[in-house]
Amino acid sequence: MTIKAGDPLPTATFMTMTENGPEPVEFDSFFKGKKVALFSVPGAFTPTCSAKHLPGFIEKADELKAKGIDAIACTAVNDVFVMGAWGKNAGTEGKVTMLADGNGDFAKAVGLTMDGSKFGMGTRGQRYSLIVDDGVVTEVNVEAPGEFKVSSADYMLGQL
């Protein structure tokens, strides 16, 4: 079942790269009591994800925070090392937290997986964005295959 507005965000364990190496992200400490802009990309270092999706949230981070967003996070079904390298390469520090969903458990829990086998990518998370307020989803923006419109930072700004 696909997550919808009004649903609690499923508890999942993400990993993030820190100066001390990979560390788990505690769900409650990241989402509870905060308004979070969470977006998912099919893969780190892939064309649309690297050229448009992640850069848009980096560029609009201050505007999103001015409209009440406490944290911005990017998730993908990639390992923590790849997500850490992609974040460093893109300049996310202080703007976007990179949350690795290495086994795709979160993507499965929200019902937003895609089959990237045709491209040698296996099961991945779809391209989407969520606004999560105190652990509850208030907006769900899922892209049609091959599209990049409703999951963008600009689109989310219009929702706030």
Catalytic machinery residues: 49
Contacts for 146 with CB less than 8 Å, ≥ 6 apart: none
Pairing outcome for strands 71-76 and 97-100: parallel
Contact 85, 120 (CB under 8 A): no
Q: Where are the beta strands (DSSP E) in 82-122?
A: 97-100, 113-115
**DSSP code of 77?**
S
Q: Is 83 helix (H, G, I), strand (E, B) or coil?
A: helix
Looking at the DSSP assignment, which residues form a beta bridge with residue 137? 132
Tokens at residue 104, please? Answer: 């795709």
Q: ∠ at Cα 15 (107, 81), nearest 5°?
A: 105
